[in-house]
């Protein structure tokens, strides 16, 4: 079967991770890149042996031999490249969160429908082995009905200068809210958010959210961008308690630790780990699944655009709640 020819829009930190991951996906071929920072695009193209560097989003979307566009621009800059790619007849993979407002989410869902081209959103945890195994366990019914869920997703303070551009709930809690929606299959009726600004930045670096689901389950999401920088990349955990059982999942520092003369190193072994320089893990598996969907012309089912928009809806309600210091009800679900 022919390889899926892809154009990458956005060659920043995670765009580079995508390129590493695509190298480990035999059915993928990244043929062109575009970034508003032309030097960055040229450097990345040369590093990864990508033949074409485009000068605009119109140019990359207009390349007739590309089947798909991979959008890895900052959180609030997904709409334009996604819409342009759809209009040019390309399937689209776009990083999370789908958008930072609901109107833009709807516009991308509409552009996908009217062009009859896919829109897959990078809710990567649905491809992470442990989180996906937990979903299987819940779907099997062995844990009974969801009663309580508690998710933690904390990051070192050195990541604040980059990701502090977006509210941490949209940046990070979006993952756990999406999981809770996946695990329960239930709409959210009411939320309450809490935030703290210890560092005086535009967005808080501490966020807690309490989520009430229609079926009665309660979820708590937590993200704090204040961990010490000494080798810690992530501190993630999820607890699910059902009427028939419970599950505890941890990706906390220390699960795999390396001590060298230059300090203590706690590498990621789940999302984007490397073995012999080649990508493994959830990002590779997610992008591989997208390519399989394009090759077989089957719309991605593991995460749909409507589900990605629901997660944004819950997050925006949580942020509104934290800012207004009151409960926020979600009246219209879709």
Ligand X SMILES: NC(=O)c1ccc[n+]([C@@H]2O[C@H](COP(=O)([O-])OP(=O)(O)OC[C@H]3O[C@@H](n4cnc5c(N)ncnc54)[C@H](O)[C@@H]3O)[C@@H](O)[C@H]2O)c1
Asked if 233 interacts with ligand X (CB under 6 A), we say no
Residue 145: partners with Cβ closer than 8 Å, 6 or more residues away: 215, 217, 242, 243, 244
- Please, what is the minimum distance in Å from the beta carbon of residue 259 to ligand X? 26
Residue 172 near residue 209 (C-beta atoms within 8 A): no
SS3 per-residue string spanning 184-224: HCCCEEEEEEEEECCCCCCCCCEEEEEEEECCCCEEEEEEE
Residue 222 near residue 208 (C-beta atoms within 8 A): yes
Is residue 5 packed enough to be buried (19+ CB in 10 Å), middle (13-18) or exposed (0-12)?
Answer: middle
Q: Per CB under 6 A, which of residues 124..183 are in contact with ligand X?
A: 124, 171
Asked if 35 interacts with ligand X (CB under 6 A), we say yes
- Please, what is the minimum distance in Å from the beta carbon of residue 34 to ligand X? 6
Half-sphere exposure of 54 (CA within 13 A, CB side): 22
Based on CB atoms, which residue is closest to ligand X, 58 or 325? Answer: 58
Half-sphere exposure of 73 (CA within 13 A, CB side): 21
**What are the DSSP calls for 130-165, one per residue?**
HHHHHHHHHHTTTT-SEEEEEEEEE-BGGGHHHHTT
- Please, what is the minimum distance in Å from the beta carbon of residue 146 to ligand X? 24
Based on CB atoms, which residue is closest to ligand X, 15 or 305? Answer: 15
Based on CB atoms, which residue is closest to ligand X, 15 or 204? Answer: 15
Based on CB atoms, which residue is closest to ligand X, 79 or 109? Answer: 79
Asked if 14 interacts with ligand X (CB under 6 A), we say yes
Q: Per CB under 6 A, which of residues 193..212 are in contact with ligand X?
A: none
Binding mask 271-310 for ligand X (x = CB under 6 A): x---------------------------------------
**From start to end of the chain, where are the E strands?**
4-9, 28-34, 52-53, 68-71, 91-95, 119-122, 146-154, 188-196, 206-213, 218-224, 235-242, 246-250, 258-260, 263-265, 274-275, 278-279, 328-329
Asked if 11 interacts with ligand X (CB under 6 A), we say yes
Asked if 48 interacts with ligand X (CB under 6 A), we say no
- Please, what is the minimum distance in Å from the beta carbon of residue 11 to ligand X? 5
Asked if 36 interacts with ligand X (CB under 6 A), we say yes
Q: What is the length of the chain?
A: 334
Q: Per CB under 6 A, which of residues 62..81 are in contact with ligand X?
A: 72-75, 77, 81
Asked if 13 interacts with ligand X (CB under 6 A), we say yes
Based on CB atoms, which residue is closest to ligand X, 178 or 212? Answer: 178
Asked if 122 interacts with ligand X (CB under 6 A), we say yes
Residue nearest to ligand X (CB): 12
Residue in 7, 10, 209, 305 binding ligand X, rule: CB under 6 A: 10
Residue ranges in contact with ligand X by CB under 6 A:
9-15, 34-37, 40, 57, 72-75, 77, 81, 95-96, 122, 124, 171, 271
């Amino acid at each position: 079967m022919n390889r899926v020819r892809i154009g990458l829009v956005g060659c920043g930190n995670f765009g580079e991770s995508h390129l590493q991951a695509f190298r480990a996906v035999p059915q993928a071929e990244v043929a062109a890149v575009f970034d508003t920072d032309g030097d960055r695009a040229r450097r990345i193209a040369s590093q990864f042996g990508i033949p074409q560097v485009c000068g605009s989003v119109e140019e990359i979307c207009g390349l007739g031999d590309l089947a798909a566009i991979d959008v890895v621009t900052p959180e609030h800059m997904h709409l334009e490249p996604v819409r342009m790619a759809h209009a040019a007849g390309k399937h689209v993979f776009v990083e999370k969160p789908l958008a930072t407002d609901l109107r833009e989410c709807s516009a991308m869902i509409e552009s996908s429908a009217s062009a009859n081209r896919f829109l897959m959103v990078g809710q990567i945890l649905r491809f992470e082995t442990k989180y996906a195994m937990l979903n299987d366990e819940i779907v099997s019914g062995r844990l009974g009905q969801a009663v309580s869920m508690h998710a933690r997703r904390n990051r070192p303070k050195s990541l604040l200068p980059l990701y502090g551009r977006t509210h941490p709930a949209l940046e990070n809690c979006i993952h756990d809210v999406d999981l809770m929606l996946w695990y329960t299959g239930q709409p959210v009726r009411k939320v309450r958010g809490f935030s703290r600004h210890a560092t005086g930045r535009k967005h808080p670096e501490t966020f807690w959210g309490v989520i009430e689901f229609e079926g009665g389950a309660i979820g708590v999401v937590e993200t704090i961008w204040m961990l010490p920088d000494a080798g810690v990349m992530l501190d993630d955990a999820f607890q699910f308690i059902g009427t028939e059982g419970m599950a505890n999942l941890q990706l906390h520092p220390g699960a795999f630790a390396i001590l060298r003369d230059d300090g203590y190193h706690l590498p990621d072994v789940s999302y984007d780990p490397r073995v012999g320089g080649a990508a493994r893990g959830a990002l590779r598996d997610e992008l591989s699944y997208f390519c399989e969907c394009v090759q077989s012309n089957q719309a991605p089912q593991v995460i749909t655009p409507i589900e990605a928009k629901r997660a944004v809806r819950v997050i925006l309600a949580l942020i509104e709640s934290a800012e207004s210091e009151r409960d926020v009800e979600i009246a219209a679900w879709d």
